[in-house]
Amino acid sequence: MDASEDILRKAMAEKQLALEAQGNAVRMMKTTGATKQEIDAAIEALNGLKLEKASIERQLQAAISGSEGSLNREAFRQAVVNTLERRLFYIPSFKIYRGVAGLYDYGPPGCAVKSNVLAYWRQHFVLEENMLEVDCPCVTPEVVLKASGHVEKFTDLMVKDEKTGTCYRADHLLKDFCNEKLQKDLSITPEKAAELKRVLAVLDDLSAEELGSKIKEYGITAPETKNPLSDPYPFNLMFQTSIGPSGVSPGYMRPETAQGIFVNFKDLYYYNGNKLPFAAAQIGQAFRNEISPRQGLLRVREFTLAEIEHFVDPENKAHPKFSEVANLEFLMFPREEQMSGHSAKRIPLGEAVSRGIVNNETLGYFIGRVYLFLTRLGIDKNRLRFRQHLANEMAHYAADCWDAEIECSYGWIECVGIADRSAYDLHAHSEKSGVPLVAQEKFPEPREVEKLVISPVKKDLGLAFKGNQRMVVEALEAMNEKEALEMKYTLESKGEMEFYVCTLEKEVTIKKNMVTISREIKKEHQRVFTPSVIEPSFGIGRIIFCLFEHSFYMRPSKAGDEHLNVFRFPPLVAPIKCTVFPLVQNQKYEEVSKVISQSLTSAGISHKIDITGTSIGKRYARTDELGVPFAITVDSTSSATIRERDSKDQIRVNVEEAATVVKDVTDGRRTWEDVWSAFPHHSSGSADE
User: Using the rule CB under 6 A, is 114 a contact of ligand AMP?
Assistant: no
Measure the CA–CA gap between 368 and 345, rounded to whole angstroms: 16
What are residue 387's DSSP bridge partners?
333, 403
CB atoms within 10 A of CB 289: 17
Nearer to ligand AMP, 256 or 635 (CB): 256
- Can you give the C-alpha Rg of the chain in angstroms? 32
Identity at 68, one-letter amino acid code: E
Selected binder of ligand AMP within 368, 539, 627, 629 (CB under 6 A): 539
Nearer to ligand AMP, 417 or 571 (CB): 417
Residue type present at position 385: R
- Determine the interface stretch with ligand AMP among 360-368, 379-387, 411-419, 668-676 (rule: CB under 6 A): 411-419
- On whether the CB atoms of residues 309 and 420 are closer than 8 A, the answer is no
Report in angstroms how near the CB of residue 416 gets to ligand AMP at its nearest.
Answer: 5
Phi and psi based region of residue 559 (left: phi greater than 0; alpha: psi -120 to 50; beta: remaining): alpha
304 binds ligand AMP (CB under 6 A): no
Q: How far is the CB of 378 from ligand AMP (least distance, A)?
A: 17
Q: Does 421 bind ligand AMP (CB under 6 A)?
A: no
Q: Do residues 629 and 668 make contact, with C-beta atoms less than 8 angstroms apart?
A: no
How far is C-alpha 397 from the chain's CA centre? 21
Look at phi and psi of residue 102 and say left if phi exceeds 0, alpha if psi is from -120 to 50, else beta. Answer: left
Identify which range of 126-134, 150-158, 428-436, 534-542 contacts ligand AMP by CB under 6 A: 534-542
CA distance 127 to 116: 15
Distance in angstroms (rounded) separating the CA atoms of residues 81 and 85: 6
Number of residues that bind ligand AMP (CB under 6 A): 15
Nearer to ligand AMP, 404 or 564 (CB): 404
Min separation Cβ 627 and ligand AMP, Å: 22
Min CB(288)–ligand AMP separation in Å: 5
Residue 391: name the closest of 202, 187, 648, 111 by CA.
202
β-strand pairing of 681-682 with 650-654: antiparallel
Q: How many CB atoms lie within 10 A of CB 167?
A: 15
Q: Which 256-295 residues touch ligand AMP, going by CB under 6 A? A: 256, 288, 290
305 binds ligand AMP (CB under 6 A): yes
Q: Which is nearer to ligand AMP, 151 or 485 (CB)?
A: 151
Shortest gap between Cβ of 413 and ligand AMP (angstroms)? 8
Secondary structure (3-state) at 262:
helix
The distance of closest approach from Cβ of residue 395 to ligand AMP in the complex, given in angstroms and rounded to an integer, is: 10
Could you tell me if 233 and 192 are in contact, meaning their C-beta atoms sit under 8 angstroms apart? no
Which is nearer to ligand AMP, 87 or 389 (by Cβ)? 389
Determine the interface stretch with ligand AMP among 413-421, 446-454, 567-575, 671-679 (rule: CB under 6 A).
413-421
Q: Give me the least distance between CB of 403 and ligand AMP, in Å please.
A: 6
370-409: which residues touch ligand AMP (CB under 6 A)?
A: none
Tell me which residue has its CB nearest to ligand AMP.
Answer: 539
Interacting residues with ligand AMP (CB under 6 A): 256, 288, 290, 299-300, 303, 305, 414-417, 537, 539, 541-542
